[in-house]
Amino acid sequence: MGSIENPAAAAAAAGQPEYDVLVIGCGLSGIYTLYRMQQLGLKVKALDEASGEGGTWHWNRYPGCRFDSESVSYGFSFSQEVLDEWNWTETFAAQPETLKYAQFLTEKFDLRKYMQFRTRIVSAHWQQDTRSWLLTDGQGHTYTSRFLITAMGIVSAPTLPLIPGIDQFAGPAFHPSRWPADGTQQLVGKRVGIIGTGATGIQIIQTIVQPEFQLQTLTVFQRSPNWSAPLHNEAISAEKMSQIKQSQYPEIFDRCSRSHSGFIHIADQRPTLSIPAPERHAIWEELYSQPGFGKWLGNFADINTSREANAAYSAWIADKIRSRVHDPRTAEKLIPKNHGLGTKRLPLETKYFEAYNDPRVRLVDVGSGSDEAIERITEKGVVLKNGEEIELDVLIYATGFDAVTGPFRKVDFRGVDGITTEEAWRDGLRTYLGLFVKGFPNMCTVLGPHQAFGNIPRSIEFAVGWVADFLQFWREKGLTYVEATEEGVEQWTEHVHECSKGSLVLEVDSWMTGVNTNVPGKNKRSVVRYAGSGPGYRQRCLEVKERGYVDLRLE
């Protein structure tokens, strides 16, 4: 009876873990991990607190939600059948379509039987005596495995602003990643406030200001403006999709593999200021008119490293913003003055700046030092430093996520001798290949710190593939233990820091530098991602594989 009610306990009593591999997360990372694990014939289970698969695309159901990778470059490349069968309908797919894609993959490969939903993992503890992991969920149920793979995503830990009275507001109030099922209906005829103008805020603002949402008013509380540029989305016809399937996918994925960040855009290596201004501006006009990140990642490469080049391009984009916003004072509020374009991840927009030409929309500058800074939230709305109370019916907190490391804060990870991830990273993030953390044996992190982020599925596909190849090696050699070495961690972490030198990104506070002022202890910049090229990252990881993983402690 005990083995039926608690298989983990029964397995532990027998000296064997219940599973070969446990996976935390059923988003795209978890889905592809399950696919590769079952291909290896390993006993695997993925656990997720959501009610279904999809990860980011399950949770973020707010109006206007979509990705900024070209759809045909966002999908996985591992299966020709999937490429042949799946049809994207927009250049940049919206959340419902991307969630359907995740569900399609799950059903296509019969992966749902390996998934367990509504299961919030609260702890993951290393068991030295059995060389296994013990996971516990919020209901007290336990799960054991020989190997643990975290597939928790980069932005899965939402944060709320540290504003007094946040729990006092009487009307509906929510974070976009927890958008209520009837959230859109709650906006009709209402005075809506939104705090935050990052990527999510921009998508929501430009969408709900449209006539069909029937808002009475929209008040935008902006702490700091973000650079943004046109998405230029469009429908993909059946004929065009057929052409992509027949002949274009190989070139698309080849471009992704050669580009710096896994997108289809490849930077121009000529120095920006070596190009005469009229020619340079013509190039920028062409990029500005094209879909996607070309205006950032397909631009001159040195806009990311040269202050002069970045300033020239930022000034050019600033003029574009001024030309789109009728009120000059509002336009200036929307133009960043403390950082250049691309030094934070660039949000892409569709008539976002034109939203501020709508008489129902008010922009409130709540930045540090402003007399319009938010003093507190009340039952009726938001009180500003100057004493004004802005009455609202609905309040949206588009205040981002505890990115990259946040998912590790949500789970009590404990490794050798009870070390926590917080303790392991107290003096700065330290990893090996962005896949291993010293002190946490038999554990790999997909999309963890120090990996090459960019076009996320390209990152997932490589990382999971590398881990799967390692586990095949592990099984063939009869291994029971793997851990990063101190030497390997030192060398890799030093390399990650070296790759970041010269990047203007490191001069700006953002999630890409580990800063989130809504999270205690995250107000200091750090190197959280691999800033070198995607091809360079993959080459280093493959060299470790080719050497037989000798840089790892294997037993």
- In this model, does residue 127 exceed pLDDT 90? yes
Q: What is the mean pLDDT of residues 69-91?
A: 98
12-30 pLDDT, tens per residue?
Answer: 556 689 999 999 999 999 9
Q: Which residue in this structure is represented by tokens 């390399």? A: 495
With a cut of 70, say whether residue 348 has pLDDT above it. Answer: yes
What's the CA angle centered on 123, arms 107 and 516, to 5 degrees?
90
Give residue 5's pLDDT.
Answer: 43
Q: Could you give the percent of the chain with pLDDT greater than 70?
A: 97
pLDDT tens track for 520-541: 889 889 999 999 999 999 999 9
Average the pLDDT over each of 142-156, 506-520, 533-547 and give the range with the smallest value: 506-520
Mean predicted confidence (pLDDT) in 190-216: 98
In whole angstroms, give the CA distance from residue 498 to residue 215: 49
Torsion of CA 98, 99, 103, 104, to 10 degrees: -20
Average pLDDT of 237-241?
Answer: 98
Report, as an integer, the average pLDDT of 146-160: 97
Would you state the pLDDT for residue 11?
Answer: 59
Residue 62 scores a pLDDT above 90: yes
pLDDT score for 1: 24
Q: Report residue 147's pLDDT band, with 50, 70 and 90 as the boundaries.
A: very high
Residues 172-199: tens digit of each pLDDT:
999 999 999 999 999 999 999 999 999 9
Average pLDDT for residues 471-487, to the nearest whole number?
A: 97
Confidence tier at 2 by pLDDT (50, 70, 90)? very low
As a whole number of angstroms, the longest Cα–Cα distance in the chain is 79
Question: In the predicted model, what is the mean pLDDT of residues 327-335?
Answer: 98
Nearest to 516, CA basis, from 403, 398, 424: 403
Residue 374 has pLDDT above 60, yes or no: yes
Query: Would the pLDDT of 371 be above 80?
Result: yes
User: What are the tokens at 421?
Assistant: 């991830």
pLDDT of residue 368: 82
Q: Which residue ranges form the domains of the chain, and what is each CATH number?
A: 2-156+403-550 (3.50.50.60)
Nearest to 29 by CA among 477, 504, 554, 451: 451
Half-sphere exposure of 378 (CA within 13 A, CB side): 12
**Residue 13 pLDDT:** 57
Q: CB–CB of 20/148 below 8 Å?
A: no
**What pLDDT does 9 receive?**
57
Q: State the pTM of this model.
A: 0.95
Question: Is the predicted pLDDT of residue 106 greater than 70, yes or no?
Answer: yes
